[in-house]
Each structure stands twice: as structure tokens, then as C-alpha cells.
Amino acid sequence: MNILLLGKNGQLGQELQRTLLPLGRVTALGRDTLDMEATDTIAATLEAHAPDVIVNAAAWTQVDLAETAADRAFRVNADAVGIIARFAQAHGATLVHYSTDYVFDGRKQASYVETDETNPINAYGRSKRAGERAVQASGCRFILIRTSWVFSAEGTNFIKTILSLAQERPNLRVVADQFGAPTSAELIADVTAMAIAAHHGERLQSGIYHLAAQGRTSWYELACYIIRRAHELGFELQVDVANIEPIATEEYPRPAARPRNSLLNSNALADRLGLELPDWTVHVDRMLHQLRRREL
């Protein structure tokens, strides 16, 4: 199996370089080799590599900046994705693509299932939904994975930001009325490899699937968990849990609106792959241990 991985330097791309290797020959490209904003170069690059499977982990993820640079977000998250999907259809390749909870408006009380109506409330979410539609319209074989609250020991994410701020400040204020399940890039990459193998063996149909860790938390509760565990592991922090203040979304205005509920029901994919997905705390703990080992 000839696998072409796009977006190799992101949180997910770095993990996918590990998990895709047992499946076949992997060629991994970053922005220096394939700039997804340069849409006129994408088809030629794909043609040169002649992949059986394209794993697209490249994306525009600057949610707030997308409000004033929507054209760039749509170019990467929709236009480029459409080009890749149409190439996959024309050449008989399978496309693995990633989307987000931001395609929903967050007003649902329960966790979202794949068939729920989408209604993005910011430009980033609209660009990702447009990318989903492009994949579906292409007619290619595809596995489209929606996930949420992604983190890893590499790159920038909420967990690393909280640790950094806790080393500099005696108090933190964190939004307490947005809910989700932190999902590690490690978990997404592991399940992606399983999904590709199952699809190749005709045990997983083309379609949209949700993938998130189990459980539920808020950004505030997650921050408290991070600080509590970090103290236990010996991180030197100025902040204790008692010095973290829960606030409402309106008290922390951002250019882009955020969905209040980002919970994704992952039962469909887990059942088809025979998985029992871990609670979100499992991989958060793994990451904190990893970061602590680096310090030492």
C-alpha cells in the first residue's frame, strides 16, 4: 500500500508518521513540500506520488484568524480538499480526511452523532463543513473523521498553554460553560491506522465517523485536572487549583464564536472497529508524564 501523508508537521501528522508505517510505504509531506494554499500545485504533487491512500492531516486551524482571513481558511480547508478528493476519485485512491466538532453549533444537549444537522457558527467551522461536502461530492472512497479538542506533546494546545501560564501567573481564569472531551493526536492516529486497514479489508464503509475520547469535561475542569496532576508529578507552578476561577464564555470574548457543546458520540466507529475508547484522562496523563520526563 502506497500511502501519502499530508501535513506531517502538525500534532496529528507527527503521530500518523508512526502509526501508518505498518500499513505500507509512507511518504510524508509538510508545508515546505506542499503548500495547501497553493492549490494550483496540489494535483501535480499527488500525480507524482501515485498514492493508493491519501491521509490529509493538513488544515487551517487558526480559528480566530479565520474570521478575518476566511478566504485563506476556505482555500486550505475546502478548495484544496476538493482537489485532493477529486484526484482520489479519478485515480481509485482512498482519502482519509479530518474534520471537527465546529461543524455543529453546540446547542444540542446530548453528544453529536454523525447524522445530526450541521450548523457552523464561525468561519473556520464553515470552511471545514465545505471541505466535508467536497469530499462527499467527489464520489471517492473516503474515511472522514470528525474529532475535537485535539492535543499532543508537540505543537500548541490548551494543555501546554495552561502549564505555561501556571508557571508565570499566580491566578488563572478559565471558561467553564463549554464542554467536550480532550482527544489526543496519539489516539486519533492509532484509530486512523485501524480504520484504513478495516476499509482496505472491506470491513469499514466509506463515510463520516466521529472519534473522540470518552467522558466529558469543561475547559475549567480540564485546567483544574491539569494543575492537580502537574503538582503531583512535580512540576514547578505558581498556580494551585484554588487559584483557578471559572468564568462564562461572555467574560472571555474571542473573535470567533465557540460551540458550547463539542461532545461527539463515537459509538459508530468504535463498534465497527471493535474498540473500547479510553476516557479523556488516560491520554492527558500520558502527555503530562511525557512533558515531565522532558523537564527532567
Q: For 30-51, what is the mean pLDDT? A: 96
Please say if the pLDDT value at position 295 is more than 90. Answer: no
Statement: 2-156+182-215+261-279 belongs to CATH 3.40.50.720: yes
Give the pLDDT band of residue 187 (cuts 50, 70, 90): very high
Give the pLDDT band of residue 57 (cuts 50, 70, 90): very high
Buried b / exposed e along 81-101 (16+ C-beta atoms within 10 A): bbbbbbbbbeeebbbbbbbbb
The set of catalytic residues is 124
Element (H, E) at 27: strand 25-29
Q: Give the Å distances, CA to CA, from 127 to 39, 100, 186.
A: 15, 10, 25
pLDDT of the residue at 155: 86
**Model pLDDT for residues 259-268, shown as the tens digit of each residue:** 999 999 999 9
Element (H, E) at 258: none
Query: With pLDDT > 70 as the criterion, what percentage of the chain qualifies?
Result: 100
Cell numbers standing for residue 39? 492549490
Q: For 108-122, what is the mean pLDDT? A: 98
Please say if the pLDDT value at position 3 is more than 90. Answer: yes
pLDDT of the residue at 44: 96
C-beta atoms surrounding 33 within 10 Å: 12
**Model pLDDT for residues 235-244, shown as the tens digit of each residue:** 999 999 999 9
Element (H, E) at 175: strand 172-175
For residue 151, what are the β-bridge partners?
184
Please say if the pLDDT value at position 137 is more than 90. Answer: yes
Cell numbers standing for residue 291? 512533558
Helices in 62-152 by DSSP H: which ranges? 70-74, 80-91, 123-138
Give the pLDDT band of residue 194 (cuts 50, 70, 90): very high
Please say if the pLDDT value at position 121 is more than 90. Answer: yes
C-beta atoms surrounding 170 within 10 Å: 10
**Within the chain, what is the greatest distance between any pair of CA atoms?**
58
pLDDT of the residue at 263: 98
Question: Quick check: 46 and 217 in contact, CB under 8 A?
Answer: no
Average pLDDT, the chain: 97
pTM of the model: 0.97
Q: For 143-163, what is the mean pLDDT? A: 96
The domains of the chain are located at 2-156+182-215+261-279
Please say if the pLDDT value at position 269 is more than 90. Answer: yes
Please say if the pLDDT value at position 167 is more than 90. Answer: yes
For residue 147, what are the β-bridge partners?
100
Give the pLDDT band of residue 217 (cuts 50, 70, 90): very high
